[in-house]
Amino acid sequence: MATQNPTEITPLLNPPPEPQSEILCPNGDTSTANSAVPDDPSTLYVWILMIGPFLSAFVAAVDSSMIATLSSPITSSFGSLSHLPWLASAYFIANAAVQPLSGKLTDIYGRRSGLVLANIVFALGNYMCASAKTEWVLIAGRVVAGLGGGGIMAIATFLLSDLVPLRDRGMWQGIGNMILGVGSGIGGVLGGWINDSLDWRATFLLQIPITLLATIWTWFTIRIPAVDDGEGKSKLKRIDYLGSISLFTTLVTLLLGMSAGGNTVSWTSPIVLISLPLSLISLLVFIATELKYAKEPIIPLPLLCDLSVAGGCLTNAFSSASRFAMIFYLPLFLEAQGYTATKIGLRLIPGSIGTAIASMIAGFIVKSTGRFYKLGIASQVIYILGMAFICTFTLRTSAWPPFVCFFIINIGYGITLTTTILALLSSVEAKDQAVITSALFAFRSTGTVLGISAAGLTFQNVLGRLLWEKLGDIDNAAECIQRIIDDFKVVDGLEEGLKELALQAYMGAVRAVFFLMLALGGLALVFTLLIRDRELSQRMIR
């Protein structure tokens, strides 16, 4: 694919946007097309440049699927199954907090610098996890890794928008999602195998050298010559400090309160009563700052008023809430059926394959037709059908339905990833593509955290209620039930009759989570209807 010369301008919207977009400077910084710029990179050069970002994103995908597979062994090693939601939420809270900042900051300081920093932070977080002596140090490591991983995913996406036209953007997004899908598939199996052979700590250590290799490649390849865009103080003055701090505070306090409330602490706990009101206050500060005071807003809020932008962001939020909750709680269902971590990882592979194949095919369909709306609707219908089948699972479900259903719902999710980002990018001017992509990632990560938290709250409450219904009459019921809630492996040591009752309670709690995920998928379909179809340009708009 050879993209067009940057002097060619094809209007996408009516009225057409300003013929101006961002390109990379020598250090990965950005400038505008009315400066001296080189010809658009060839397909080969795009591949060479994207090896580092794709490798970093691949490792981050491996990491996320490893965590899903190893969630039970990790929490069991610390005797803290009730802290399972934090294992995932900590990572995605950090993701959500850093991603909306990464667009504007890498516009100012450059994609290369931002991606290198994100890689280093991600590697540091994995080292903290590998060396953790308590569950809270491990969770802190997930926060640090989440900051790095969030930056990696977002900045790699910005680079694609910098380099290829919208009509080809879906194809490249499909390639990226295929790489992520392979990483997710390998990660689940690899994580389970390493845990069964060594222990879960080794899974974190193995990611560090690969991340550092990607960092070195990125540093030496993202060097596209262009004019400089200011140095030192001139760049510092462009940063929306108050907007950045208030948005970061809003997301962290909101997700902290929602993740903790009803899961690890009660809704009347000080951490909830302080964090949720603080999130509202900081949100109001952020809105006022972006609308009235910021010269270069971290996220231009008027962009979110566009129906396609709002629909795309909310579709991503609810789809991700459903899909990632399923990724973390389907393994618990499989564990209740008696599968080892390695076998659970094998059963997650079809989902990763489904996401990869569907996203790639969706990209080529969009490249051929230039349209994405009907494809987006179809993706949500496919997802809902798959989730409806999962809701029928029982402990006696045979081995093949989880393979098939997981594959189906990830086909729907893979198409959604491609169509929603195209809906956003086609609705804004080229100069706003990085910041609106940041907003999309923020919605996706926020939805993921809230989905996992809601699933954790549902699981814990239903499990506790059902255990009391079935085991409340035995001696030392309170102690036994609490031990089961904290560590599922305790069930293996129960008498056969009590074990069967405990498994029934466990399955009832998992099924409640499945129905929640189905409802979230339904909401994603509703918001998809807000998106307006547009024919995508085949030329690079500068």
Q: Tell me, what CATH number does 178's domain have? A: 1.20.1250.20
pLDDT at 118: 94
Tell whether 461 and 522 lie within a shared domain.
yes
The lowest-confidence range among 70-79, 192-201, 451-460 is: 70-79
In a domain, 33, yes or no: no
Ranges of H-type helices in 222-340: 233-238, 241-260, 270-288, 307-336
451 in the same domain as 427: yes
Q: Is residue 19 part of a domain?
A: no
User: Do the beta carbons of residue 139 and residue 83 sit within 8 Å?
Assistant: yes
Instruction: Note the pLDDT of residue 258.
Output: 78
Residue 261, beta-bridge partner list: 265
Strand, coil or helix: what is 402? helix
- Interval 142-200: pLDDT, tens: 989 989 998 998 888 888 877 777 667 777 877 887 887 788 777 777 887 888 788 88
Whether residues 390 and 507 fall in one domain: yes
Evaluate if residue 319 carries a pLDDT over 90: yes
What is the tens place of the pLDDT at every residue in 13-23? Answer: 444 443 333 33
> Between residues 328 and 280, which one has the greater pLDDT?
280
Which of 276, 295, 314 is the last residue before a domain boundary? 295
Q: Is residue 535 part of a domain?
A: no
DSSP 83: G
Chain-centroid distance, C-alpha 457: 20
> Rounded distance, CA 220 to CA 8, Å?
30
Is 478 contained in some domain?
A: no
In the block, tokens 């094998």 appear at 346
Show the domain range for 388.
40-239+296-473+501-528
In a domain? residue 34: no
Residues 103 and 46 occupy one common structural domain: yes
23 belongs to a structural domain = no
- Looking at the fold, whether 282 and 328 belong to one and the same domain comes out as no
For residue range 333-387, what is the model confidence (pLDDT) as tens digits? 888 888 877 777 777 777 778 887 888 888 888 777 777 888 889 999 999 999 9
Do 245 and 320 reside in the same domain of the chain?
no
Contact 68, 327 (CB under 8 A): yes
Of the residues 262, 295, 328, which one is the last residue of a structural domain?
Answer: 295
Residue 540 in domain: no
402-448, pLDDT tens digit by residue?
A: 888 888 998 999 899 888 888 888 888 877 777 888 888 888 878 88
| Tokens found for residue 120 | 């280093």
DSSP 308-357: HHHHHHHHHHHHHHHHHHHHHHHHHHHHHTT--HHHHHHHHHHHHHHHHH
CA angle, residues 144, 147, 150, in degrees to nearest 5: 140
Three-state DSSP state, 199: coil
The answer, as to whether pTM is greater than 0.85, is no
Over residues 213-261, the pLDDT tens digits come to 999 999 988 875 433 455 656 666 777 778 878 888 888 888 788 777 7
Within this chain, do residues 280 and 429 fall inside the same structural domain, yes or no? no
Confidence of residue 11 (pLDDT cuts 50, 70, 90): very low
464/519 same-domain check: yes
Q: How many angstroms separate the first and last alpha carbons of the chain? A: 18
Asked whether residue 249 falls in the same domain as residue 390, the answer is no
Mean pLDDT of the chain: 79
Helix, strand, coil shares, percent, the chain, to 5 = 75, 0, 20
- Phi, psi angle pair for 537, to nearest 5°: -75, 145
User: Is the domain of 288 the same as that of 170?
Assistant: no
Residue-wise pLDDT tens digits, 91-113: 877 877 787 778 777 877 788 88
The neighbouring-strand residues paired with 31 are 23
Q: Let me know whether 55 and 121 are in one domain.
A: yes
- Are 314 and 436 part of one and the same domain? yes
Residue 21 is assigned to a structural domain of this protein: no
H or E element at residue 361: helix 341-369
Considering its fold, how many domains does the chain have in total?
A: 2
